[in-house]
């Protein structure tokens, strides 16, 4: 196996472990919040180019629910938890026993619930990564938006400035009575942060 192939495989193995532990933390935290068991399937983890993020959630014009925040500390970056509207409605119904209203509008309670779920997920994965790397990484207060994926990503660029070229993608599936709900979690480290993260994880870099 060539060095680059070995490094790439090692990167993914380490990130999968981070994703697994983060999912465990998230399931525990959500269970406490909801006072009921929450099952999360083993997440799939990959590295994707930034420009492919919108395609992965249904395209630039796909209306999605997104929680986004800034990561501060030793390895700054940006985080997005993106879920399609039909999944957001199912999540509210199955996990929180909130029957979503008709139409596209969300109530203040629904917004608050989705924001808290996104916040818990982001915090769980971020703390898992911080534990693995021994880097200081902490989230800002999250924001929630319902808009086209392209508009949300553009707003993120305006809010946070330059995005890194690559994103760590964790695809999370919630399981509740066989009613699956899929969410996409993206960590987009700033251009200099990826190298810091992988060096801290012990990933061989050229």
How do residues 19-73 score in pLDDT, each as one tens digit?
888 888 888 888 887 788 888 888 888 888 888 888 988 899 999 999 888 899 9
Please give the Cα distance from 16 to 129 (Å, whole number). 11
| Structure tokens given for 162 | 């330059």
CB 67 within 8 A of CB 119: yes
User: What is the structure's pLDDT at 1?
Assistant: 37
Confidence bin at 75 (pLDDT 50/70/90): very high
* Ordered structural domains, the chain, with CATH: 3-200 (3.40.1550.10)
Please give the Cα distance from 76 to 57 (Å, whole number). 24
pTM of the predicted protein model: 0.84
pLDDT tens-digit series, residues 182-197: 889 888 888 888 888 8
Helices (H) and strands (E) in the chain, counts: 6, 8
pLDDT tens-digit series, residues 123-165: 888 898 898 889 999 899 888 999 999 898 887 766 666 666 7
């Amino acid at each position: 196996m060539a060095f680059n192939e070995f490094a790439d495989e090692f990167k993914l193995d380490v990130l999968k472990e981070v994703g697994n532990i983060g999912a465990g933390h998230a399931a525990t935290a959500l269970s406490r919040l909801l006072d009921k068991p929450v099952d999360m399937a083993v997440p799939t983890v990959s590295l994707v180019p930034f420009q492919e993020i919108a395609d992965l959630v249904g395209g630039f014009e796909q209306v999605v629910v997104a929680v986004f925040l800034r990561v501060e500390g030793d390895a700054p970056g940006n985080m997005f938890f993106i879920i399609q509207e039909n999944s957001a409605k199912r999540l509210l119904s199955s996990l929180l026993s909130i029957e979503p209203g008709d139409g596209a509008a969300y109530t203040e309670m629904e917004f608050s619930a989705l924001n808290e779920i996104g916040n818990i997920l982001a915090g769980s994965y971020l703390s898992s990564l911080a534990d693995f790397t021994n880097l200081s990484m902490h989230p800002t207060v999250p924001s929630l938006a319902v808009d086209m994926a392209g508009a949300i990503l553009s707003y993120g660029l305006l809010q946070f400035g330059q995005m890194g070229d690559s994103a760590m993608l964790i695809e999370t599936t919630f399981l509740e009575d066989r009613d699956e709900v899929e969410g996409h979690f993206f960590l987009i480290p700033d251009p200099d942060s990826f190298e810091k993260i992988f060096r801290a994880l012990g990933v061989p870099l050229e």
